Amino acid sequence: NTMTIPLPNVNPKHFRSMLRFIYSGDTSFLASPAAEHPSIGGNRATGANSMNVDTHVARSRLAQQRYKDFQDLLVVANEFGCWKLKLIIEAQLINKHLTGASMIDLLLLAREHECVMLKDAGIRMAAKNVDELFGHPECGRLIACTELMTEVHVMRKGDVPSDGTVNDEFSKMSVMELYESLDGKDNVKVEAYMDRPSLLELVRSAAAETPAETPADTPTEMDTEESK
């Protein structure tokens, strides 16, 4: 006997992607549009200028579909607590889809689904592009969100985010930069989705535990003993 569990608000495609990621680490959903559809990749032999209008339109539509798919998959990952997949999708949205045109849409998405890294990146972009922000046709949606507008204002002033009283080399790093600073550190393991203060604490702890490198031209204690 089999039991069917209805998931009315979940796209089966995204649910399958999440399950494949959980059980096999499959990230094939990150493949570029050209890799998935070689026919729209352009003719490298003749250069990009040879791309016809139909091909350009097809690529544009595919990019928009991937953007929508990433947003939907992010919602699914958040709903089911798949935090590693959530971080991967946030990074994809930041690196490939966060622009002046999309920043308001992604900021509101990040706020609704508690996407710390995506929200941080959106706030930083908005603070650096205030003219574009207030000229955006969807600006009214963001202005209605007092919390986000306050954070944009604080970032615009150059204030350190409210992460405590410590002001060091990590204080003004973006959330993505903080995660990247942990890459390659065998003594640190991220075991849960983290807010910025918790991530900062982990990064500072990892930095404190990392032994300082000895300059090549500085004699060590052993070298000194051997030279006697």
pLDDT in tens, 128-160: 999 999 999 999 999 999 999 999 999 998 865
Contact by Cβ (8 Å): 103, 125? yes
Q: List the one residue out of 136, 150, 79 whose CA is nearest residue 103.
A: 136
Q: What is the pLDDT of residue 47?
A: 53
In a domain, 25, yes or no: no
In a domain, 108, yes or no: no
In a domain, 156, yes or no: no
pTM for the predicted model, two decimal places: 0.79
More confidently predicted of 225 and 173:
173
Contact by Cβ (8 Å): 199, 171? no
Q: Measure the CA–CA gap between 91 and 143, rounded to whole angstroms.
A: 25
More confidently predicted of 30 and 216:
30
Q: What is the pLDDT of residue 32?
A: 65
Q: Kindly state the tokens that stand for 145.
A: 């969100």
Q: Measure the CA–CA gap between 223 and 132, rounded to whole angstroms.
A: 60
In a domain, 137, yes or no: no
Per-residue pLDDT for 79 more than 70?
yes
What is the pLDDT of the chain when averaged over all its residues?
83
Q: List the one residue out of 85, 92, 91 whose CA is nearest residue 15.
A: 85
φ/ψ of residue 170, rounded to 5: -95, -15
In a domain, 199, yes or no: yes
196 confidence band (pLDDT: 50, 70, 90): very high
More confidently predicted of 168 and 146:
146
Q: Kindly state the tokens that stand for 203.
A: 């990064």
In a domain, 184, yes or no: yes
pLDDT in tens, 95-111: 999 999 999 999 999 99
Q: List the one residue out of 99, 147, 91 whose CA is nearest residue 117.
A: 91
Q: Kindly state the tokens that stand for 71.
A: 């947003």
Range of the domain at 183: 163-209
In a domain, 10, yes or no: no
In a domain, 194, yes or no: yes
Q: Measure the CA–CA gap between 19 and 25, rounded to whole angstroms.
A: 9
Report the number of distinct structural domains present in the chain: 1
Q: What is the pLDDT of residue 35?
A: 47
